[in-house]
């Protein structure tokens, strides 16, 4: 191994990955994904779809999940900087409803592995950010779920400057909270 460093998080299953970067005066080289290294690190998933998005400063996307076709995700930032968050929605988990956040940037080149049955979202800190992620299942447009980004029952500490509001999609303003999710999907 040696090409990646994997940090476990206080919520079981979440992992922050830092690749080895080889740099010199010309620039740098790194492997963004190598199945053998990830399998050795305990991430033995088959990724079937890659996605990429671009957002401007202040955009908050999330908190999203797939209902019947949950996805493991391996996320990273290609340009800019985001605060990335995962919320544990696994039935019976000791950390159900708890969140973890990590700063991902083009500069730190960290990746975040988010297992199935977590809600996921991010907030853009830089003027512009490009975000890429690998998924273990295909996107099913009729299978989208979400939890409101500012649910006090979860209490995500987003790094949103005082006196500002995040830029949200119309869809992301209509999500319910953790209690509604629990009643609808976990009862």
Active site members: 64, 133
Structure tokens given for 175: 């999500």
Q: Are 132 and 76 in contact (CB under 8 A)?
A: yes
Length of the chain: 187
175/36 Cα distance (integer angstroms): 38
Q: How does DSSP assign 143-154, residue by residue?
A: GEEEB-TT-TTT
Q: How does DSSP assign 32-56, residue by residue?
A: S--HHHHHHTT------EEEEEEEE
149/84 Cα distance (integer angstroms): 12
């Amino acid at each position: 191994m040696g090409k990646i460093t994997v940090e476990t998080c206080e919520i079981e299953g979440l992992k922050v990955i830092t690749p080895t970067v080889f740099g010199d005066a010309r620039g740098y080289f790194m492997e963004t994904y190598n199945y053998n290294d990830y399998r050795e690190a305990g991430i033995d998933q088959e990724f079937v779809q890659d996605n990429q998005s671009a957002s401007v400063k202040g955009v908050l996307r999330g908190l999203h999940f797939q209902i019947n076709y949950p996805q493991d995700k391996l996320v990273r930032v290609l340009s800019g900087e985001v605060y990335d968050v995962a919320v544990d929605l696994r039935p019976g988990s000791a950390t159900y409803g708890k969140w973890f956040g990590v700063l991902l940037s083009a500069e730190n080149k960290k990746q975040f592995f988010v297992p199935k049955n977590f809600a996921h979202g991010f907030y853009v800190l830089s003027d512009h950010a490009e975000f890429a992620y690998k998924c273990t299942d295909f996107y099913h447009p009729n299978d989208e779920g979400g939890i409101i980004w500012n649910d006090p029952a979860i209490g995500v500490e987003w790094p949103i400057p005082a006196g500002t509001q995040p830029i949200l999609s119309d869809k992301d303003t209509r999500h319910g909270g953790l209690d509604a999710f629990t009643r609808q999907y976990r009862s």
